[in-house]
Amino acid sequence: MRLLVVEDEEMIAHNIKRHLKREGYAVDECHNGLDALDYVKTTSYDVIILDLMLPGLDGFSVIKEMRQHQINTKILILSAKSGVNDRIKGLDLGADDYMVKPFSLEELSARIRVLIRRSHNTDHQSAILKAQNLELDTYTRKAIIDGKEITLTAKEYAILEYLMMNQGIVISRDRLLEHVWSYDYDGASNIIDVYIRTIRRKLGKDNPIIETLRGVGYVIR
């Protein structure tokens, strides 16, 4: 899952980014509203964490501009503005959630998980994704196959979760890169193939859950 943090206080932005990357998300960050619009118009994000008091263009204007351009990415406002009127205005403009600073990083993560489930039409009761003999618990971020838990790295889990949330849809390598790695990734071009091989090995080398469509991408039926 790929997230965008829009926060003008760089220390706060870095702390949020570091925390979310530890949880396996791909995270980009920017520090003003105009840059935020450039990011969201060129990149597909699962959730945007948005401050309101931004230079260049304030958060309210960013939300309004996004919704006018039919960009329906989930938006979580994270702001020191605690007034009821600010909350109402943000939600009425099209934000999906509102948190007030100071905040808990753990609660931020929980709210992000809720928004991701909503964006993929996965409700609270169906937090466990299933495909054949594989179960993925999106609350605990555990993978279980034939009743036995398997150990995945954060990136392995992120790839498997994205494929599981899009069952039946062929996901290209570029799309996986876009959702699982951030702009600051500067590594091997075959990184997706390497991770898929490792995931398959952990699932069992004869397990057919992840199907390859040569030259197109990967799919879980």
Tokens at residue 72, please? Answer: 């329906």
List, for residues 46-69, the tens digit of each pLDDT value. Answer: 999 999 999 999 999 999 999 999
How much is the pTM? 0.72
Give the per-residue pLDDT at 184: 67
Residue range 124-220 forms a domain whose CATH class is mainly alpha
Is the CB of residue 6 less than 8 Å from the CB of residue 33? yes
Give the per-residue pLDDT at 120: 66
Give the per-residue pLDDT at 129: 85
Give the per-residue pLDDT at 124: 45
- Kindly give the interhelix angle for 154-165 and 191-203, rounded to the nearest 10 degrees: 90
Cβ burial, residue 119 (10 Å; 0-12/13-18/19+): middle
Domain ranges in the chain are 2-119, 124-220
Handedness of CA 119, 44, 71, 48 (dihedral sign): positive
| Third-level CATH fold of 2-119 | Rossmann fold (3.40.50)
All residue ranges of the chain with pLDDT < 70 are: 120-126, 184-189
